[in-house]
Amino acid sequence: MSLEPPVVYFGRKPPHAARLVWDALGRDAAHYVEPFCGALGVLLHVPYVDGRTETINDYNCWVTNFWRAMKYAPNDLAVACCEPVVTLDMHAWAHAMQRRSAVMRDVLIRSPGLFDLPAAAAWAMGRSQCIGSDMENLGYSVPALGDRGRGVKAVPRRDDLRAQFDVLSRRMRHVRIHCGDWTSVLTSAVIGASSAWANHPVAVFLDPPYDKEERMGDVYGGTRGVAGATEAWCLENGHRENMRIVLAGYRGHYDLPGWGQVSWAQSGGYSDAGQNEMLWLSPGCAAARVQHSLFGGSQ
């Protein structure tokens, strides 16, 4: 069963793109790792498979705070997300989060069971309401008023948040949530020769900020200029037999010899998105040798 992410997140992959990712990674992977998790649009596209380990990471501490609240207090979080849309409240929370980010991240790292429930709800509502879904860099813009609601405020989701959050909490119960640099979940101890998965399929989905996202600023909570480093990591690790890696980006952004490529399109977003959106598939991927477009045909 595919679950809809409860928050709007910049660069989130829609269901048809998530399906392509899992077609390439294969659902039999023993360990799934997502270093730039955001709204979890890819992870939530597939149900939990008994025995599979799932590790997610995002440098943005408010991502960790939200998913902790979802994991441990879904009903309370649902109630807190039922507050009305108030522009000044949204601005107040955005500025509070900007001031508290460094301290909150340090607290979350040192206290694995701690979370700030009001902040988690405010972050989810803010991302669901603000234009561009960039809650942490909101400024004083007005909410997105030209639709019927998004994220936790979407119709009809907003009327049944408790039931939906309960399902999401159960889906997340075995997920390991990390808050740190993207490379911290890609070390040898986590996925390499010294890990428990040295001889088992490891699936890695990499969705670093695209060039335009990096120019917008702190999209990933402090992670800047990582595209080149991500490409270098892929070149170094893509040959490993047990590694299945999918890297997302714009057409022409990466040079990965021997990797497959799949294109997909989305509506909305930047004017040069759409057909320029690509997935690079490492040689170990189940679909790496089948280079095809979502709309049919070979490339």
Question: Which CATH number fits the domain that encloses residue 31?
Answer: 3.40.50.150
The more confident residue out of 111 and 260 is: 260
Structural domain for 288, as ranges: 1-59+180-299
The more confident residue out of 292 and 245 is: 245
Which of 173, 204, 226 terminates a domain? The answer is: 173
Half-sphere exposure (Cβ direction) of 240: Cα atoms closer than 13 Å: 22
194 with 242, same domain? yes
What does the pLDDT read at residue 21?
93
- Edge to edge, the sheet with strand 202-206 lists 176-178, 53-57, 31-34, 202-206, 243-250, 277-281, 260-264
Rounded CA separation 257/207 (Å): 19
**pLDDT tens readout for residues 164-221:** 999 999 999 889 988 889 999 999 888 877 788 878 889 999 999 875 444 444 444 4
Sign of CA dihedral 92, 122, 37, 55: positive
CB atoms within 10 A of CB 52: 16
What does the pLDDT read at residue 273?
46
125 with 106, same domain? yes
Number of structural domains (the chain) is 2
**pLDDT tens readout for residues 50-87:** 888 999 999 888 988 999 899 899 999 999 998 887 88
DSSP, collapsed to helix, strand or coil, labels residue 87 as helix
> Do 41 and 18 touch, CB atoms closer than 8 A?
yes
Tokens of 65: 């705070």
Number of H helices, E strands in the chain: 9, 7
Nearest to 251 by CA among 285, 275, 227: 275
What does the pLDDT read at residue 12?
75
**pLDDT tens readout for residues 11-46:** 778 888 999 999 999 888 899 999 999 889 899 988
163 with 256, same domain? no
200 with 229, same domain? yes
Rounded CA separation 25/28 (Å): 8
> Do 146 and 129 touch, CB atoms closer than 8 A?
no
